[in-house]
């Protein structure tokens, strides 16, 4: 049941990535050999989706230090910090890269008495472990979440949350995939997800690959479908979740959550726990990445607005926790009180 395609693979001594900017028209796999190329892939959305960004950043750190000639651990650790800051700068809002890089840094310091070449090998081994754990975690997310979906359900999704955005299976997409495998006869409404059309380009491509029934809709159609009783659940992913359960996700998530609450429709967020930021109290404390105006004023390279048009283009929005029905994680469903339940969960970790 695992999809035959992978966004990221480690082959011999380098990464191979499926370039998401070329989909759905072309399936282009590119070799990535340097930390600078990893940064460029993340920044320019050749790799997208919080878990996939975290995996790529982990491998990128290894590529950055692989040929580093440090005389001692102190100078080596200075370079590690520099590369971590560099990789995080590619997509600063997403949590998973911060989580993955800090995990590797902790592992490095736990082995600081070893030879530097051995530490480099440990960095690569840790990156591979993070990648493998994400695959298992996404499978668990799908298994837990599919239990929430009733037979014949109509599920609305936003953005891309499939294997393209993770190590395998996906997050919200994994729930849909496992429900389909359980023969629940579901139908999926796919928001196009302006301005970069992750829904129309990527999610639709993944649904066709897995032969799951779907229809593409414009983002502005979702409210009308809810009002007509044509949506039984809204299911999204997340780029960061704060300690109180506020969700930072692809722009357009917040209005969907408001519409779902107004129409008494469950609104679930599927994510690995590495996306949760327990050190940040609420979503208002998160700086939202703003991207180039051309993503809005152009369609590909073709202008669609008057020449002097400027645009406001935030990549994400904030959905307050009170609009969330629950979080579907690799450890199961988390319901309100989110702050208390997240806290107890991380205390046990």
* Active-site residue list: 239
Report the alpha-carbon distance of residue 75 to residue 68 in Å, rounded. 10
Do the Cβ atoms of 63 and 35 come closer than 8 Å?
Answer: yes
Residue 247, beta-bridge partner list = 241, 319
What is the residue whose two structure tokens read 């990527």?
Answer: 202
The Cβ of residue 192 has, within 10 Å, a number of other Cβ atoms equal to: 21
Report the alpha-carbon distance of residue 241 to residue 341 in Å, rounded. 13
Report the alpha-carbon distance of residue 256 to residue 64 in Å, rounded. 40
DSSP 149: P
What are the residue ranges of helices labelled H in 1-94? 35-43, 50-65, 73-88
Report the alpha-carbon distance of residue 68 to residue 330 in Å, rounded. 36
Sheet with 332-334: list strands edge to edge. Answer: 214-217, 187-191, 154-157, 233-236, 267-270, 326-329, 332-334
Residue 17, beta-bridge partner list = 8, 30
Distances (CA, A) of 60 to 38, 98, 239, 246, 268: 6, 13, 19, 29, 32
Report the alpha-carbon distance of residue 71 to residue 57 in Å, rounded. 25
The HSE-up count of residue 69 (CA atoms within 13 Å, CB side) is 0
DSSP 84: H
């Amino acid at each position: 049941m695992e999809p035959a395609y992978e966004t990221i693979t480690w082959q011999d001594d380098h990464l191979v990535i499926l370039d998401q900017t070329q989909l759905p028209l072309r399936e282009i796999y590119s070799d990535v050999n340097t930390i600078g190329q990893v940064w460029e892939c993340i920044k320019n959305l050749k790799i997208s989706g919080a878990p996939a960004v975290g995996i790529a950043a982990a491998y990128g750190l290894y590529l950055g230090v692989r040929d580093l000639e440090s005389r001692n651990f102190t100078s080596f650790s200075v370079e590690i910090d520099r590369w971590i800051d560099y990789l995080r700068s590619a997509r600063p809002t997403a949590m998973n890269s911060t989580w993955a890089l800090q995990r590797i840094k902790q592992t490095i310091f736990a082995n600081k008495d070893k030879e530097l070449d051995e530490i480099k090998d440990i960095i690569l081994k840790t990156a591979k472990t993070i990648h493998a754990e994400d695959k298992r975690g996404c499978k668990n997310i799908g298994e837990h979440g599919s239990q929430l979906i009733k037979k014949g359900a109509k599920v609305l999704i936003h953005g891309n949350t499939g294997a393209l955005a993770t190590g395998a299976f996906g997050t919200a997409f994994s729930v849909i995939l496992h429900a389909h495998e359980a023969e629940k006869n579901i139908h999926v409404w796919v928001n196009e997800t302006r301005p970069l059309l992750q829904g129309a380009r990527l999610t639709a491509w993944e649904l066709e690959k897995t032969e799951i029934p779907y229809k593409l809709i414009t983002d502005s159609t979702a409210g009308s479908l809810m009002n007509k009783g044509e949506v039984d659940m809204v299911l999204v992913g997340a780029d960061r979740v704060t300690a109180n359960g506020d969700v930072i996700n692809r722009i357009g998530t917040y209005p969907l959550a408001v519409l779902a609450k107004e129409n008494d429709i469950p609104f679930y967020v599927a994510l690995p726990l590495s996306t949760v930021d327990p050190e940040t109290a609420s979503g208002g404390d998160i700086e939202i990445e703003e991207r180039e105006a051309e993503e809005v004023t152009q369609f590909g390279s073709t202008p669609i607005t008057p020449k002097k048009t400027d645009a406001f283009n935030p990549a994400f929005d904030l959905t307050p926790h009170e609009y969330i029905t629950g979080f579907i994680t690799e450890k199961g469903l988390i319901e309100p009180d989110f702050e208390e339940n997240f806290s107890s969960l991380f205390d046990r970790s």
